[in-house]
Homo-oligomer: A and B are copies of this chain.
C-alpha cells in the first residue's frame, strides 16, 4: 500500500498519476474503516479524496496553507499529514478530532466546525504573510453549501482587495447538508453546465479571477488546474465539480442521509444501531405539521439542518410552502422570521444552540427591538448535546437571555415543551425562544400550564422549608434527585422550583422564600457566567439568603464524556449535597 509510506505531504510528490489513483483507493479504505465503525462526515470526505491528493501534490504544506471550511472534509488531509493511523488502526480512532486542529498538526491552522469561515480566516493568513513580507500560497477550501453563509459572502467580496496570492477552492458537489437553497446555486449550475464559461459569474461579479475544473474527482485534471494557479499573484477562484460521497454507491445516491452517518455495515450500507423510541426531532415535526394543517399562517424555518426538527425530505414536501429551508443563512432566517411575524404569520425557526451564535445581532435588532412574535427553537442546547468544541450548546443562556424583550423558556419535560411551543405560536406579544429538552424524552403526568403570557412566574413543584432548589430546564431532574437525597438524608423536605423562564426572575416568589428558607440552590444546563443563577444571586445579594449556583465553568471543552463534565463541575446530587451540608 502506498499509504503506508506516506508520512508527510512530501512523500506523495514522488508518485505518478497511476500511483496517486491507487492511493485514492487506499484512502477510501481508510475512510471506510473509520466511518463504518465510528461514524462521521461521510459524503464530504469521500467526495474530496482526489482534490486533497492533488492539493498536497502541487502545493507545499505547511508553507502553503490550506484552510478548510467547516473542515468536515479534512480526513484525507489528516491521512496525508501524519495521522493515517487514526483511520487504519481502530485503537487510534480517538487520536484525532473530526475537524482541523492545530494541536494535532502544523498542517492545520484553525479549529473549525462552523461553516462559511474559511475565506475570511485564510484572508487573514494571506494578509499576515504580506505584512511580514513572506511568500507562499494561501488556499481557502469551501464547499458550495457554505457559500450561502453571510460570513463566506463577506469574505468572497473582500478577497479581491488583497491584491496578492490568494486561492479560493470551491468544492461544488451541488449539495449542502440537504439540498441547497438560494439563487446563487442557479449560477453554480449555469457555470457547471457551461464548463465555467457562462458570462454571468458570481465569483467574477465579486471581483475575483476564475478557473473551472469539470472533473473534480480526476486527479490529473485537478493537478493541471492547481499547477496553473500556484503562486498566482492575485486572488482567484478554482471551481471544481465533484461528486459527494464518490466511491460508495449508497452515499452517492442518498446524499443527505450520508452527509454525516452513524456506524454502518459497509456491505449493505445499513446502520448498525437503529435508534428507536421517541425523539424531539420527529415529535416537533409532527406537532408543527398538525398545526400547519389547521393554520396556513404557521411556517417552519430551518437553516440547512432541516432534520434537526424532523423535516426529512418527505415531510418537507408535505409541508409545501409552509416549510422553508434557507440554506446556511441563520442571520437571514431570524430576520425573515421577524418579518413574517410582523406580517401576521407564525414562524418557527429551529437550529442548534451553537448555530444561533450567528444570530445575536438579528435576535437583538431585527427581532427583539421590534418585539415581533416569532418562535425560536434552540436545539442541542445542553451539556448533553454535541460534544465537539465547535458545536457546544452551553453558551446560549448568557448569549440570548440577556437580550431585552426576548422571552426564553426552559421546559423540563415533553408535555411542558409542547405546551410552551403551542403557546408561543399562538401568542402575538413576545419574541419567544424555547430550549428543546436534550436529556431524553421525559414524560410527566402532572398538569401542565398552557398560558405563559404572564412572564417570569416560577412554578413550585414541591413546597418545603429551609432549602429551595431552583432547577432550570434539563437540570430539573438533577434538582429532583437532589431534593430526594436531602429528604432521605435529613428527613426534611426541601422546596423544588421549576423556573421555566430564563429571561426573568420571579421576585414575588424569591421574596417569599426569605421567610422560610435560608438556602437557595440554582441549577442550570450551561455555563454559570452571565447565566440564570447569577441573577437569582443578585436578587439575594444584600439579604441573609445563602445562594449556591450550579452549572458549568466558562471554558471551551472538547470531545468530553458528560459524566466527567458533570463531576468536574460538582453537578451530581451527591456532590451538591456534600457542598451544602
A-side interface residues toward B, CB under 8 Å? 67, 102, 109-114, 117, 120-133, 148-151, 153-161, 181-187, 199-202, 204-208, 296-297, 299, 321-322, 324, 326-327, 329, 331-332, 335-345, 347, 357-358, 360-362, 364-366, 368-370, 389-390, 395, 398-399, 401-405, 527-531, 533-535, 537-538, 540-542, 546-549, 554-556
Contacts and interface: CB of A to CB of B under 8 A. Distances in A.
Contacts of A296: 131-133
A480 B112 CA distance: 45
Given A124-B341, A207-B183, A541-B548, A527 B151 contact: no
Given A155-B332, A299-B131, A332-B151, A339 B123 contact: yes
A175 B331 CA distance: 24
Given A161-B183, A206-B187, A340 B128 contact: yes
A270 to B, nearest CB: 35
Contacts of A132: 296-297, 343-345
A341 B109 CA distance: 11
7 contacts: A124-B338, A150-B154, A154-B332, A160-B183, A161-B324, A404-B527, A537-B541
A577 B534 CA distance: 24
Contacts of A535: 529, 534
A150 B148 contact: no
A15 B365 CA distance: 38
In the complex, the count of this chain's copies comes to 2
A386 to B, nearest CB: 13
A556 B405 contact: yes
A431 B519 CA distance: 38
B343 A129 contact: yes
Given A130-B321, A556-B369, A530 B398 contact: yes
Contact of A324 (B127, B337, B540): B127
Contacts of A555: 404
Nearest to A557: B404
Given A122-B339, A131-B340, A331 B366 contact: no
Given A102-B370, A296-B132, A124 B342 contact: yes
A361 B114 contact: yes
Contacts of A345: 124, 127-128, 131-132
Given A183-B160, A398-B398, A369 B331 contact: no
Nearest to A528: B538
Contacts of A366: 110, 117, 120-121
A208 B398 CA distance: 39
A568 to B, nearest CB: 15
Contacts of A205: 183-184, 187, 200-202, 205
